[in-house]
Amino acid sequence: MNRSQGFLAGCKLKELEDILVVQGLPRYRARQIFTWVHRHCALEISDMINLPRTVRESLESQWIIHGLCEVERQVSQDGTEKFLLRLVDNQSVETVYIPESDRAAVCVSSQVGCALGCSFCATACSGLIRNLRAGEIVGQVLWINRFHPVSNVVFMGMGEPLANLSEVLRAVEILNSPAGMGIGMRRITLSTCGLVPEIRRLADLGLQVGLAVSLHAADDEKRSQLMPINRRYPLASLVEVCSHYVAATGRRITFEYALIAGFNDSEGDAEALGQLLRGFNCYVNVIPVNPAVSGFPRPVDAAVSLFVEKLFERGLNAAVRRERGSDIDAACGQLRHRSLEKS
Ligand code: SF4
């Protein structure tokens, strides 16, 4: 890739039409190209065989599709597949395919590394290296779609999507495009550690995307120990903006709660969570922490069930999130971290 080349996968159909018309090409060529990129998941412009050779050569001087290539792929016994994908500048990101009975989700990364420093997260180790471009985000979904039809996209891989919001929103619009993959807004979920101004911005856009918020503790002292971002945006401001999100979009929020033995799994913690989310249109995902990645102790299964029961008693809609890919490096940042250690 040279400096003047862009990612075709990050270009909206209308933008491509306008560019081609300025270059003296017919508008319909843009739709042909968009179809090759988003429906056929082409890897090279030279694959677009219904375009004249001169058009392909001209495109190649200006564009690459997404520039991703596969470094490693791990397949779990439960069907989960984890990909380590190399970017054009030799950085790498993780992308996970998660098949379920009624859907096939892809978990995408939005940044290389992350600046937010959550204490349980392998991605945090490297700090933020760079934001991904929209074409690199869409490219991850296209890469998986070559092997498995994709129905859902979750932004829960490496990075904080709301810290790269403009590229993430561009990617969402392209993924949603009926001329491309046409993934419904309600089948796309953004996961955040709680960037309050960006949640407000998202709410005010009124998109129908799902929002998942990593909570992990119901009091500021404990949450700040796990997530430094809580010092900037404490729980009161986070819950207030989440209420605004629900009111503005009509969508229920999912709160993620990583359960750590002896830290946030007591009856008192369940009570604090019940108080914090009282009357909230939400769903609580309880995730027993992965000790191999986080260094925190995982509660025994009986303690996990008991905690969920306590949440039910307090009127919260909650469930334990089933662990996927436990026999591979499935936690966010784990595969890339191990690959960097080897190199
Ligand atoms: S959990 Fe998410 S926001 Fe926190 S450090 Fe990891 S990637 Fe960043």
pLDDT digit string, tens, across residues 144-171: 999 999 999 999 999 999 999 999 999 9
8-35 residue pLDDT tens? 999 999 999 999 999 999 999 999 999 9
Which three-class secondary structure state does DSSP give residue 222?
Answer: helix
pTM for this predicted structure: 0.94
- Residue from 119, 160, 189 to probe ligand 1 pocket by mutation (most atoms less than 8 Å from CB): 160
pLDDT at 333 over 80: no
- CA angle in degrees (0–180, nearest 5) for 282-193-269: 60
Domains of the chain with CATH codes: 6-64 (1.10.150.530), 69-342 (3.20.20.70)
**pLDDT over 90 percentage in the chain:** 87
Which three-class secondary structure state does DSSP give residue 84?
Answer: strand
How much is the pLDDT for 292?
81
Total count of residues recorded for the chain: 343
Mean predicted confidence (pLDDT) in 42-51? 97
C-alpha to C-alpha distance for 101 and 106, rounded to whole angstroms: 14
pLDDT at 343 over 60: no
How much is the pLDDT for 137?
98
Q: What is the mean pLDDT of the chain?
A: 93
How much is the pLDDT for 156?
95
CA of 25 from ligand 1 middle (Å) equals 44
C-alpha to C-alpha distance for 59 and 110, rounded to whole angstroms: 26
Residue nearest to ligand 1 atom 4, measured at CA: 118
Q: Note the Cα 112 to chain centre separation in Å.
A: 12
C-alpha to C-alpha distance for 149 and 339, rounded to whole angstroms: 27
Q: Worst-scoring range by mean pLDDT, 13-22, 197-206, 296-305, 324-333?
A: 324-333
Residue 331 beta carbon below 6 angstroms from any ligand 1 atom: no
pLDDT at 2 over 80: no
C-alpha to C-alpha distance for 142 and 56, rounded to whole angstroms: 20
C-alpha to C-alpha distance for 33 and 13, rounded to whole angstroms: 9
CA of 116 from ligand 1 middle (Å) equals 6
pLDDT at 52 over 80: yes
